[in-house]
Amino acid sequence: MATTPAGVVGPGWQVRRQLNAYRVLSTEYSVLEFITLHANHERERFVMASQYQHLTVREQNGVLVLSVNIQRLSSYELAEGMGREVLEAVSGKSAPKVVVDLSKLAYLSSVGYGPLITLRSRVRESGGRLILCGLSGVVKETFEATRLLINPNSPKSLFEFKETVDESVAALSAN
């Protein structure tokens, strides 16, 4: 086991120092983590795992950021695959603070709601909080038309939303 400013690294991991970041590579699970150490000693952790085809998963200030890497979410198979990945990303976390970044998503059909609603339920059951961000005009209009997104401060709104990842992380870090 090795201890670095990026944390404790166990057997099966390689650590490489690169400028202001540590690159941590798991030889056992095919997980690649980039842990960036900022001047103010904040850590920003990016986790890229081979099991995630539709997501980029990272941790920022204790908040799990799930960036959806799909442009058109219109098929059941794609929605089901993304759903498995988002649930896997939050599994085992108690009271998770989660941001779902939809900035790359240009189109969302009705099948895309299922994974997000399930994720919201799972996060809330664990005592956590979920914020959506980066909704493009069409995607935001679709959420509003289905009344899944009414007003960010309304208790009737199923989803809370912010414009950017940074705003979302700040809102979740404040609590």
Minimal CA–CA distance to 98: which of 153, 156, 32, 160?
160
pLDDT digits (tens, 9 = 90+) for 115-161: 999 999 999 888 999 999 999 888 888 777 776 765 555 555 688 88
Higher pLDDT, residue 6 or 117: 117
Q: Rounded mean pLDDT of the chain?
A: 75
- Provide the residue ranges of all domains of the chain, joining segments of one domain with +: 1-50, 51-173
Burial class (CB in 10 A: 0-12, 13-18, 19+), 8: exposed
Minimal CA–CA distance to 32: which of 17, 18, 45?
45
- Side-chain half-sphere CA neighbours of 50 within 13 A: 7
Higher pLDDT, residue 162 or 152: 162
79: how many CB neighbours lie within 10 A of its CB?
22
- 14 beta partners: 25
Q: Which CATH number fits domain 51-173: 3.40.1710.10, 3.30.750.24, 3.30.300.30, 3.30.365.10?
A: 3.30.750.24
Residues whose CB is less than 8 angstroms from the CB of residue 132 and which lie 6 or more positions away in sequence, other chains included: 99, 100, 102, 116, 143, 149, 159, 160, 161, 162
Place of tokens 């539709």: 54
pTM: 0.69
